[in-house]
Amino acid sequence: MLLRRAVRFHWALIALLVATVACSQTSSGASAGSSAGASAGTQPTASAGARPTATGSAAAASLVQGVGGLVFTPPRLSIKKGAKILVSDESFFQHTFTIPGTPIDVINDPGQFQTVTIDLPAGTYLFVCTIHQSQGMKGTLIVTA
């Protein structure tokens, strides 16, 4: 846990450093501003190695919690019955991945990620973060046969 946070901090520092270097090397102020704005919303390319990938954990899909607000990204996803979803909390808050009425109820601490096997009958399911459900943190999972 501590190590993972340290790694995240490390990458954040590198991203900041890269952004600083990029700004100082760019002569045009306009393009420096736009590139900084673009990289703020998206994951910097340098951190790709630190981020768990769907293939790395044998998961069929990835679900990110808490990036850009109290939301799941993507808010709607489709998966085959019995497949796995990598659920990662990339925020500073605890989140759950809960499918009401099913045994699926996973709690992620900040920076934590877990692989969840979706062993549910085919159908459309609502999933929520039970902590932030009232703030609209929910999504739709389609399980196909």
Q: Which of 110, 115, 131, 140 contacts Cu ion by CB under 5 A?
A: 131
Please say which residue, 79 or 89, places its beta carbon nearer to Cu ion: 89
Window 54 to 73, contacts with Cu ion (CB under 5 A): none
Q: Which of these ranges, 39-47, 71-79, 99-107, 131-139, lies near Cu ion under the rule CB under 5 A?
A: 131-139
Please say which residue, 11 or 72, places its beta carbon nearer to Cu ion: 72
Residue 138, interface with Cu ion (CB under 5 A)? no
Work out how close the CB of 104 gets to Cu ion at its nearest, in angstroms, rounded to a whole number. 15
User: By rule CB under 5 A, what count of residues binds Cu ion?
Assistant: 5
How many C-alpha atoms does 66 have within 13 Å on its Cβ side? Answer: 20
Residue 84, interface with Cu ion (CB under 5 A)? no
Please say which residue, 39 or 112, places its beta carbon nearer to Cu ion: 112
Nearest to 99, CA basis, from 143, 51, 60: 143
Interacting residues toward Cu ion by CB under 5 A: 95, 129, 131-132, 137
